[in-house]
Chain A
Amino acid sequence: MATRTDTERMGSVDWLSVALVLGGLLVVYYVAPLASLFLSASPGAVAGRLGESSVRSAATTSLLSASITTVVATAFGLPLAYWLARAETRWRTVVLGFVVLPLVLPPTVGGVVLLTVVGPNTLVGEWAAAAGVPLTRSLAGVVLAQTFVASPFVVVTAKAAFESVDETLEYASRSLGKGRWATARNVTLPLAGPGILAGVTLAFARSIGEFGATMMLSYYPRTMPVEIWVSFVSLGLDSAYPVAILLVAISVAALLVLNTVARNPWR
């Protein structure tokens, strides 16, 4: 009887509270450094660095490249996600494997891999440079690096969103005389909208924070993560703070904007 009472008492432990304590530690671990970062630099110092042309140009490059990357990743990622969600072939799994590959590959390795294809001494690289669009040390290079690393977020998240749309609805639409494209536009896309936007948001956030592959492909023009790195190695941690704060601010703002847009996706 004693044992049984013990187990019952054990069973009465409020596991939700335990979960909160354990998970709470993790949340503190996320928030504390961020708060500390904002306390590390005076508003004056941040404002001062913002005035510097190198920082301004890094912010411009980051926002511009991440926006282009997001558009490219969405334009190519959505069709792939739709195909992955609806195709009935064994190749699905293989293709999905390739899509996930950049997610598990270290970004610097991603950069190396890309250099073997678009680097200055490769066929593609030479041809593009001759055409006036160098694929390294250029905005195009930044976009290529970011797309490689960030676009899988669109594909994987949008695939899940497409899959969550009941196929019966698509068949209902098609039986009413609407073809696949009209059905995707009128039924599937609106219903998968919130999930797709989540993927797009993730891709944007990942792009703006991309460092490893970008470093390899395009040290110039500097994006903000590269600028932070340069400030850190050349001038020390203190001078990296303001740029880091700016990057955090831009990322959070981007998340807020996208989340607001995603709030009412059906209208």
Chain B
Amino acid sequence: MTLDLSALETSYADFDFGPVDLTVDREVLAVLGPSGSGKTTLLSLVAGITEPDSGSIALDSRELVGRPPEDRNVGIVFQEGALFPHMTARENVAYAGAGDNRVTELAGMLELDDVLDRQPPTLSGGERQRVALARTLAADPDALLLDEPLSSLDAPIRRRLRDELHDLFASLDVPILCVTHDQRTATALGDRVAIVRDGTVEQVGTPSAVLDRPANRFVARFTGNENLFEGHVVERTAEGARVRVGGAPLQAAESDAPGSGVPGSDPHESIAAGSTVTISVHPSRVELAAPDDATGTGKDAARANPLTGTVTRWLHEGTDYRVEVEVGDGVAFTTTVRPPTFDRLGVERGVELAVSVPPEAVHLIPRSAER
């Protein structure tokens, strides 16, 4: 099964969606974007809730545009589950006509045995989501759509269900389109991630491609990349480029394969010596070390753009620390630090530390990529 969207366009009074081209094979495409970016419109179009002004939606070359929702065989799991409140969980799952055996099988798979005879209002958020998923799967859809499946859940349940969904999705043999505004959900569930903004797709790529090599500032910021600096290309080299951010020289490796998800453009064409670029480094790729460590114990730290900086602030974010280190000339790197490292380095405001940035983590965004 392949879900193929091409030149899909629709417009409301104050919102234009598209044109959008996307292909989803037997994989999970996570659609990530802020609210109002058109994520839900995308699902509505595929499910048949909204009709496009133009463009095509094909499921294995079967055109869906023009068909009512009931003739599409596209399953959709709505944000809050949209369970029928006057039916028990079992009746909900059996709604599409699944037999007892199928209901039992799905209930077992999604751990719903204990809640099958309860009414939806008495179910917890996680249970509701799983019943909704079971109900959708019971109809054996040719494609599966999920609208913010985890957003209404508390953090611990969200993580558990995310793990479960990940395994479940791997076992399904249909295209899956999962819409979310949460970067963690998108990268955890998606085989590929599509970033949308104002009704258009900004970038499609593997989670690591999108995180480490954002196509533009918007993608970078939306995927939690705070290290965005204006810089100049000093020189193109065989391995990549040398750039200068404020006073700091940085080596960027040519890790960017052409076409890292931006249709029709090779970003490196416009990265010539002397040009101005945006330099993006994901916080998780910036490493901190004790100052005397800078010249090299382990991990090739010496070669990885050695810098020195002063801690200006830090935040405890639960699983790790977010530390801001100023390396001079107003350039401050944000980095995520795991608690053992944080404790070992004795991070405190004003402390001087060695900062290393692997060249392959230095991503250059040409001016032409911004809009």
Partner-B contacts on A (CB < 8 A) = 166, 168-169, 171-180, 186-187, 190-191, 266
Bound together, the chains give a CA A186 to CA B91 distance in angstroms of 11
How many residue pairs between the two chains, A and B, have CB atoms under 8 Å in the bound complex?
59
Bound together, the chains give a CA A253 to CA B244 distance in angstroms of 88
Q: Place the interface of chain B in its size category.
A: 20 to 34
The answer to whether A172 touches B70, judged by C-beta atoms less than 8 angstroms apart, is: no
Bound together, the chains give a CA A190 to CA B85 distance in angstroms of 10
Bound together, the chains give a CA A113 to CA B223 distance in angstroms of 68
A254–chain B nearest beta-carbon distance, Å: 26
The answer to whether A177 touches B139, judged by C-beta atoms less than 8 angstroms apart, is: yes
Measured between beta carbons, the chain B residues less than 8 angstroms from A173 are: 84, 95
B85–chain A nearest beta-carbon distance, Å: 7
6 nearest A-B residue pairs (beta carbon): A174-B69, A176-B96, A172-B82, A266-B86, A168-B82, A174-B70
A184–chain B nearest beta-carbon distance, Å: 12
Bound together, the chains give a CA A166 to CA B96 distance in angstroms of 19
Residue in B48, B68, B86, B135 with the greatest tally of chain A CB atoms within 10 Å = B86
- Beyond contacts A169-B82, A180-B70: 15 other A-B pairs, Cβ-Cβ < 8 A, are A168-B78, A168-B82, A169-B84, A171-B47, A172-B78, A173-B84, A175-B48, A175-B74, A175-B76, A175-B136, A176-B70, A176-B135, A177-B70, A190-B86, A266-B86
Known contacts A177-B70, A177-B139, A171 near B85 by CB under 8 Å: no
B47–chain A nearest beta-carbon distance, Å: 6
B146–chain A nearest beta-carbon distance, Å: 12
Q: Which residue of A lies closest to B78 (CB)?
A: A168
Q: Which residue of A lies closest to B138 (CB)?
A: A176
Say yes or no for B72: interface residue by CB 8 A criterion.
yes
Say yes or no for B73: interface residue by CB 8 A criterion.
yes
Partner-A contacts on B (CB < 8 A) = 47-49, 68-70, 72-76, 78, 82, 84-86, 95-97, 135-136, 139
The answer to whether A166 touches B82, judged by C-beta atoms less than 8 angstroms apart, is: yes
A168–chain B nearest beta-carbon distance, Å: 5
Partner of B75 from A175, A179, A191, A266 at Cβ < 8 Å: A175
Q: Which residue of B lies closest to A193 (CB)?
A: B86
Residue in A171, A172, A174, A187 with the greatest tally of chain B CB atoms within 10 Å = A172
A-B contact pairs, 21 of them (CB 8 A): A169-B84, A171-B47, A171-B49, A171-B69, A171-B76, A172-B76, A173-B84, A174-B68, A175-B47, A175-B74, A175-B75, A176-B135, A177-B73, A177-B97, A177-B139, A178-B95, A178-B96, A180-B70, A187-B84, A190-B86, A191-B84
Do most interface residues of chain A lie in helix, strand or loop, or is the interface mixed? helix
The answer to whether A191 touches B78, judged by C-beta atoms less than 8 angstroms apart, is: no
B2–chain A nearest beta-carbon distance, Å: 20
Q: Which residue of A lies closest to B141 (CB)?
A: A175
A74–chain B nearest beta-carbon distance, Å: 20
Measured between beta carbons, the chain A residues less than 8 angstroms from B84 are: 169, 172-173, 186-187, 191
Bound together, the chains give a CA A149 to CA B21 distance in angstroms of 55
Measured between beta carbons, the chain B residues less than 8 angstroms from A169 are: 82, 84
Partner of A177 from B82, B86, B96 at Cβ < 8 Å: B96
Measured between beta carbons, the chain A residues less than 8 angstroms from B74 are: 175
Q: Which residue of B lies closest to A179 (CB)?
A: B70
Bound together, the chains give a CA A212 to CA B85 distance in angstroms of 43
B223–chain A nearest beta-carbon distance, Å: 29
Bound together, the chains give a CA A79 to CA B48 distance in angstroms of 23
Measured between beta carbons, the chain A residues less than 8 angstroms from B86 are: 190-191, 266
Measured between beta carbons, the chain A residues less than 8 angstroms from B135 are: 172, 176
Bound together, the chains give a CA A172 to CA B44 distance in angstroms of 11
Bound together, the chains give a CA A166 to CA B69 distance in angstroms of 17
Measured between beta carbons, the chain A residues less than 8 angstroms from B76 are: 171-172, 175
The answer to whether B82 touches A176, judged by C-beta atoms less than 8 angstroms apart, is: no
The answer to whether B78 touches A178, judged by C-beta atoms less than 8 angstroms apart, is: no
Measured between beta carbons, the chain A residues less than 8 angstroms from B48 are: 174-175
Bound together, the chains give a CA A178 to CA B47 distance in angstroms of 13
Bound together, the chains give a CA A169 to CA B83 distance in angstroms of 7
Bound together, the chains give a CA A169 to CA B84 distance in angstroms of 7
A76–chain B nearest beta-carbon distance, Å: 25
B11–chain A nearest beta-carbon distance, Å: 15
Measured between beta carbons, the chain B residues less than 8 angstroms from A172 are: 76, 78, 82, 84, 135
Measured between beta carbons, the chain A residues less than 8 angstroms from B49 are: 171
Q: Which residue of B lies closest to A182 (CB)?
A: B70
Measured between beta carbons, the chain B residues less than 8 angstroms from A174 are: 48, 68-70
